[in-house]
Amino acid sequence: MSDIPDLECRSISKSFDTFKAVRDVSFSVPQGTFFSILGPSGCGKTTLLRMIAGFQKPSGGDLLIKGKSVLDVPPNKRPVSMVFQHLALFPMMNIGANVGFGLRQRGVNKTDVTKQVERVLERVGLGGVADRPVSSLSGGQKQRVAIARCMVLEPDVLLLDEPLGALDLKLREHMKVELKQLQSEFNTTFVYITHDQSEALVMSDQIAVMNHGVFEQVGTAKELYYEPNTAFVAGFVGEANRFGATVDGKTGDAVHMVTSYGQTLLGLNAGHGLSKGDKIDVFVRPEAVRLSRKSSDVAGMENSGQGLVENVLFNGANSQLILRDQMTGAEMNVALPQTGEFRDLKRGDVISFGWASQQTRCYRAGIEK
Amino acid sequence: MEKRVNFKGIWLPLLLVLPQLVVTAVFFFYPAGQAIYQSLFIPDPFGLSMQWVGLGNFEYLLGNAYYRASFVTTAIFSILVTLVSMGVALYLAVLADRLIKGSGVYRTLLIWPYAVAPAVAGVLWLFMFNTRVGVVTWYLGQLGYDWNHVLNGEEAMGLVVVASAWGRISYNFLFFLAGLQAIPRSVIEAAAIDGAKFWTRFRTIVWPLLSPVTFFLLVVNIVYAFFETFGVIHTITSGGPQQTTTILVYKVFKDGFVGQDLGSSAAQSVILLVIVGILTIVQFKFIERRVHY
């Protein structure tokens, strides 16, 4: 791994008239990294990707590939390649012609084109199909052809614009694994944009969570999941119970608060600079909550209560329980342990629950744009 | 899923398709049948009697140098009209497709000529190129070019081609623009990022993907040049000078209604019918194979 990052953005911005799609975004992607940009639709991630590809000119900032500014380099001269949302395979060409298109544009001679096309098709597991029409392929195979068409040009950076969006759920799950394997095999830097958090979490080495044109947080999947820096990240990545509260007092990082239901809780100051009287948003992950039939089991935890089972949402390993706190009436989603310990639980039962203050992340309310 | 309706009897479905059948019969089969029937006779000049001649009208026509010349004229004319109107329309459509602002105005303005009737279009062009009072003729004269389509057959051909193609550009433009906009942007961007410049992209990506539209327009425009240009030719040149702009359709009219040779005119209609039939079959058989839908 060289010291110069494959891709570097320095406070890059893009405005359309008065609308700022991307504001002052800076990041760098080291060689061989699977870097994802995760955000809801309209957050500016596609604009950012199109600036990297060269289809749009930034309003400000600089863009470097392998340490060289590419602002004035047109898309066809940049050492980047792109897999489009709907793959954009050329329907009137066969698979070989599709994959060899870029090579032919570079003036590579015919026999070399055929050889390189065959080699890259073999690497994506599609050897010997060069003469077949694109329409004879399945969705997943088309995906691989689209990647082969990019990889044959040996780009420094491969951009992927939600390429799994058009696939059905099962294939998408499968392609997640396959994409990650292809990436490590080619050892090329991937910049992947998606609004699907599970795609980002599974595949990426680094994830940037984007919202309203800025990066809220950049980190590994685990960092984003367990230590979200902002309320937006806490809410967008993974599932969470979210409720409003008011700060009652502080001891170090610990926050004493009263929820809107009147419950007193102890939480962790995950945002910054909270003081008494501040309105806050509180996030608790469903799997952070411990269930027990005996209230003594959860009595030692900072936050606890007795809940009435409102509903059991059985979904195999992802089963959930909807509880209503008997004291306050607050609703809570709790992940059911996968041990099957609570499989006889049903609506109307009463159960004890509790969670640690470390798992109760507090952010100042209203700063989420 | 296609929705199918099943009728119990035969009378209701027959009643429903009857209007279409009547229209086709009255305005297509009856005149066509009459043309075939009359092509086998020579009527007297007053239309009082007809003499059976069998295929005599056809024999005479195919041996006639003027008629054979009209074939060549028609071929040149329709090829030129199709090429000019489609070429200009494609060029304008490509420009309009790249336009971001003001494309609505541009499109609306370009559609206007389509609303002008062929005969009116002919008169407009005739005024501009009138040998004595035409504006364009005057400017050409200033440049030292003596325009006179009344005497010069090539100039006459040029003028009717331009006038015919002009009215057709709007129509072709609309179809080309729609065709261009139906091509996914990402496909073109994919070609661009793979290193294809504008002209290469056009040649390898846009043109093949546009081929269904091009093929359709080719058929429609040739049929247009064969039949619907009558008004333009009638107003501008009346087929002259020396029959240099007498296309087959115009000759049908001239021999039949001016020359009163209804038998020959009918025979020419039949020949025209056969030619268009053959052309359409050829186009669908051979050109369509090269089209990517």
Q: pLDDT of A223-250, one tens digit each?
A: 999 888 888 898 888 888 888 888 888 8
Angle in degrees, 0-180, between the axes of helices A169-186 and A139-151, rounded to the nearest 10: 20
**Collapsing DSSP states into helix, strand and coil, what is residue A309?**
strand
pLDDT of residue B288: 64
At A166 the pLDDT is 72
A9 in B contact zone (CB under 8 Å): no
Residue with tokens 């310990």: A341
Q: Does B205 sit within 8 Å of A82, measured CB to CB? A: no
> Do the chains contact at A102 and B184, CB–CB below 8 Å?
no
Does residue B23 register a pLDDT over 90? yes
On whether any CB of chain A is under 8 Å from the CB of B195, the answer is yes
Q: What is the mean pLDDT of chain B?
A: 86
Q: What is the ipTM of this complex?
A: 0.74
B189, B200, B208 ranked by CB distance to A92: nearest = B208
Q: How many angstroms away from the CA of A47 is the closest CA of chain B?
A: 14
The structural domains of chain B, ordered by start, are 64-290 (1.10.3720.10)
Phi and psi, residue B197, nearest 5°: -80, 175
- Residue with structure tokens 């107003």? B235
pLDDT at residue number A367: 55
Confidence of residue A67 (pLDDT cuts 50, 70, 90): confident
Burial (CB count within 10 angstroms: exposed 0-12, middle 13-18, buried 19+), residue A251: exposed
All structural domains of chain A: 7-234 (3.40.50.300), 239-364 (2.40.50.140)
The residue among B262, B234, B266 whose CA lies nearest residue B247 is B234
Q: What is the pLDDT of residue A341?
A: 81
Tally C-beta pairs within 8 A across A and B: 60
The first and second tokens of residue B154, run together, are 């090539």
* Residue A100 in tokens: 């060899």
In this prediction, residues B214-242 reach a mean pLDDT of 87
pLDDT at B289: 63
Q: Could B194 and A80 be called an inter-chain contact, meaning their C-beta atoms sit closer than 8 Å?
A: no
pLDDT mean over A95-119: 90
CB atoms near residue A111 (< 10 Å): 8
Nearest-CB residue to B196 (from A53, A76, A88):
A76
Q: Which residues of A touch B212 (CB under 8 A)?
A: none
Report pLDDT for A368.
Answer: 46
A 134-173 residues with CB below 8 A of B?
A: 149, 153
Strand order in the sheet with A80-83: A80-83, A157-161, A189-194, A34-38, A206-211, A214-219
Distances (CA, A) of B42 to A361, B46, B114, B268: 102, 11, 40, 13
Write down the pLDDT at residue A1.
Answer: 47
Distances (CA, A) of B157 to A216, A287, B81, B242: 70, 84, 10, 12
